[in-house]
Amino acid sequence: MAKAWFNLRQFKAQAYLDGAQGTLDRLANSLYPTGMDTTNAAERRLRALDFWRKHGTEAAADAFGVTRSTLYRWKAAWKSSGGRIEALVPGSRKRASNNRRTVDPRVLAEAVRLRGLHPRLGKEKLLPLLAAFCAAQGVPERLSESRVGRMLGDLKRAGRLPDPSTLRTNGRTGRLHQVRRDRRPKLRRSGYRPSDPGDLVQVDTVVTFVDGVKRYTTTAVDCTSRFAFAWSHATGSSAAARDFFRRLEAVAPFGIRRVQTDNGSEFQELFRDHLQAAGVEHYFNYPRRPQQNGTVERFNRTIQEEFLSWHRQTLAYDLPEFNRLCCEWLLWYNGERTHHSLGATPLGYLIRKHGLSQNGWTHTQPCVRDVSGYTKWNQEGQLPPHISPNPCHDGNHLATNPALRRRDARLQGRRH
């Protein structure tokens, strides 16, 4: 113990002879061989004390941007600890005691009563009701929308608010059943920027009314290549969204690793289950923030102006024919239509920038394969070598599309 104190005094004396940095190193290596918290801030404070000893208070205050009282406080802390460097490590600036939110019990009781009568009341609707209650009862409580929201959160965590349940009738049996909400946590994009095709695909739904008939067109756009796909269903269920994504996986010339959607019910339940089973990350937009899905929202405008508005009757009364025509349009959109953001077609961009190879073509579906041969076939009168005469590989669920069969037969006839 005496030897350790002798070494400590020796180190303190050495600090005034050859500077603070050497002393700091010896303290860390000799007195504390297992290591200690010598942060940059502690080193800076030790250098400030040494500079203060050599050049005076005014120079040290100007050089290190501290006051005279701060220098004396650092020096006192260092001396009182026996020259231990950890005494100069900055402490926590957290307050010793945090304020606890206190609300008048009468206001809390009124909030619980109102939510019991009207379970769906939010903070916006509840604020004027509680303000009127406080005015009538003479309760000196200052309320705001955010304060009411925090108060509701406290009551919910304490289990004092009723948990509303949604009941629905089974169409076959006529029995009531409780709808269980999907309580899984939702991932947010949080500034993520995709760099390769398939890194992030944005998905959305366009709802169209025609003569009282409602149709749901699900759309998807790859944020990097702008490769797009769309398919229409008669319902907006999660099963329909899952069917759409399976088709998207079949036609996309790249693997899909992340998907971004809004918080619609069609992107819950079965859709989320399918993404989870496929190992695809699912990002959700923040509520009422469609601009976070800006790429697919822009495509929604394009497909409505250039295709949906011109085939409304077909969409309403002949859904299979509409999807066939939509595939025709998508072939042109992805293979021939130039995009301003790319300076090329989506497929041309994939070939030029991301090295989509011949092997990649053989595993893509008809939407990609057929369009890729249009220009070269027109110039040379024959199919490009990477296009197989077979309209699709085995197991492709789009093989029964009559439009693709007719196009393939036409191309084969001209080839011969």
Task: Kindly give, in sequence order, each residue whose CB lies less than 8 Å from that of residue 99, ignoring residues fewer than 6 positions away.
Answer: none
- Rounded to 5°, the CA angle 35-37-40 comes to 120
**Residue 171 counted as domain residue:** no
CATH code for the domain in which residue 233 is found? 3.30.420.10
Residue 143 sits in the same domain as residue 291 = no
Q: Among residues 35, 60, 88, which one ends one of the domains? A: 88
What integer pLDDT is reported at residue 19 of this predicted model?
Answer: 52
User: What residues make up the domain containing 222?
Assistant: 202-415
Q: Are residues 353 and 218 in the same domain?
A: yes
Do 227 and 333 lie in one domain? The reply is yes
Residues 246 and 382 in one domain: yes
- Backbone phi, psi, residue 19, to 5°: 100, 165
Take residue 354 and report the two structure tokens written for it.
Answer: 């991301």
Any domain includes 167: no
- Whether 125 and 263 map to the same domain: the answer is no
State the pLDDT at residue 413: 53
Per DSSP, the residues of 25-91 read HHIIIII-TT-----HHHHHHHHHHHHHHHH-HHHHHHHHT--HHHHHHHHHHHHHTTS-GGGGS--
On whether both 206 and 346 belong to a single domain, the answer is yes
Both 110 and 84 in one domain: the answer is no
- Residue 96 belongs to some domain of the structure: no
pLDDT of residue 149: 94
According to the model, what pLDDT value does residue 324 have?
Answer: 96
**Residue 132 resides in a domain:** yes
Determine the Cα–Cα distance for residues 200 and 210; give it in Å rounded to an integer: 32
* Domain closes at, from 157, 189, 217: 157
Residue 294: inside a domain? yes
Provide the pLDDT for residue 104: 92
Residue 282 backbone dihedrals phi, psi, to 5 degrees: -120, 110
Identity (one letter) of the amino acid at 105? P
Task: Using alpha carbons, select from 243, 262, 253 the residue that is nearest to residue 323.
Answer: 243
Q: Do both 246 and 308 map to the same domain?
A: yes
3-class DSSP state for residue 145? helix
Same domain, 374 and 234: yes
Residue with the two structure tokens 């077909």 = 314
Residues 329, 395, single domain; the answer is yes
Q: What is the number of domains present in the chain?
A: 3
Does residue 195 fall inside a structural domain?
Answer: no
Give me the amino acid identity at 222.
Answer: D
| 109 lies in some domain | yes
Rounded Cα distance, 379 and 190, in Å: 47
Same structural domain, 245 and 127:
no
Per-residue pLDDT of the chain (416 residues; tens, 9 = 90+): 344 433 444 444 454 444 545 554 544 444 443 344 456 888 888 888 989 988 888 888 888 888 989 999 888 988 888 888 888 888 777 777 677 788 999 999 999 999 999 988 899 999 999 999 999 999 988 899 999 999 999 998 898 988 766 777 877 788 887 776 767 889 999 889 999 999 999 999 999 999 999 999 999 999 999 999 999 999 999 999 999 999 999 999 999 999 999 999 999 999 999 999 999 999 999 999 999 999 999 999 999 999 999 999 999 999 999 999 999 999 999 999 999 889 899 999 998 888 775 444 434 344 433 333 333 333 333 333 433 333 333 333 334 445 445 545 554 554 44
Same domain, 147 and 232: no
Please say which residue of 157, 172, 193 terminates a domain: 157
Q: Is 186 a member of any domain?
A: no
